[in-house]
Amino acid sequence: MPDVRRCGNYWVVNDLALSLRQARPSDAADLARIYVESWQDTYAGILPHTLLSGMSVKTHTARWQSQLQAQGSVIVVEDREHGLVGLSSLGSARDRGLGFEGEVYTLYVDPGFFGLGVGRTLLHGAFAALKERKLNSCLIWSHARNNACFFYEAMGGQRVAERLTRLGGEPTPEVAFGWKRLATVRAEL
């Protein structure tokens, strides 16, 4: 369990001074870097090498710039010393048939900051952002072989569905984790 305490506008987590905020268009390159590095670290040996090696920060910067046009759909965790170290995109659930109002579409932590409480801070921030939108339950889809599945379960997520999608031309098993009530005890935007 990380050491967490509030210090002014920051959450001090394992000696990191973390703050949550809405992403800005000027963050796009950092979001792309975190996204690409997370995928390449997390999915090595799981997804095709050609898919992972073909990812570029330049291409994903343009994608994030486009996504940031939707007000309030992306939040970031920023460390006072290291800059952006995590991101999450969120909104209404895309698969309403599962009975959840909101969805965390993405949740990525800079691989250099794994295990330091950044993901926990980010997830609570995403929950707070969903609750601000009057979305009181949440769903997250994850690749079934992603180690984040253990994190989502530790954070109280229940396995609620499975599906098979295609990624890079390969069949990709996914698991949905659901929270019927969103806890926001440690994060406020």
**Cα–chain-centroid distance for residue 40?**
15
**Phi/psi at 24 (5° precision):** -115, 155
What integer pLDDT is reported at residue 72 of this predicted model?
65
Question: Which DSSP symbol is given to 44?
Answer: B
Q: Look at 33-42, 98-107, 175-184 and tell me which has the smallest mean pLDDT.
A: 175-184
Tell me the residue range of the domain where 69 lies: 20-179
Residue 64 belongs to some domain of the structure: yes
Residue 185 belongs to some domain of the structure: no
What is the CATH classification number for the domain harbouring 63?
3.40.630.30
Q: Residue 12 above 60 pLDDT?
A: no
Residue 102 belongs to some domain of the structure: yes
What integer pLDDT is reported at residue 2 of this predicted model?
46
Is pLDDT larger for residue 91 or for residue 96? 91
CA dihedral 91, 94, 100, 104 (to 10 degrees): -40
Residue 73 belongs to some domain of the structure: yes
Residue 114 belongs to some domain of the structure: yes
Q: Residue 32 above 80 pLDDT?
A: yes
Nearest to 156 by CA among 130, 180, 134: 180
Q: Residue 105 above 90 pLDDT?
A: yes
Residue 76 belongs to some domain of the structure: yes
Reported confidence tier of residue 168, pLDDT bands at 50, 70, 90: confident
C-alpha–C-alpha distance, residues 158 and 181, integer Å = 11
Report the domain count for the chain.
1
What integer pLDDT is reported at residue 71 of this predicted model?
62
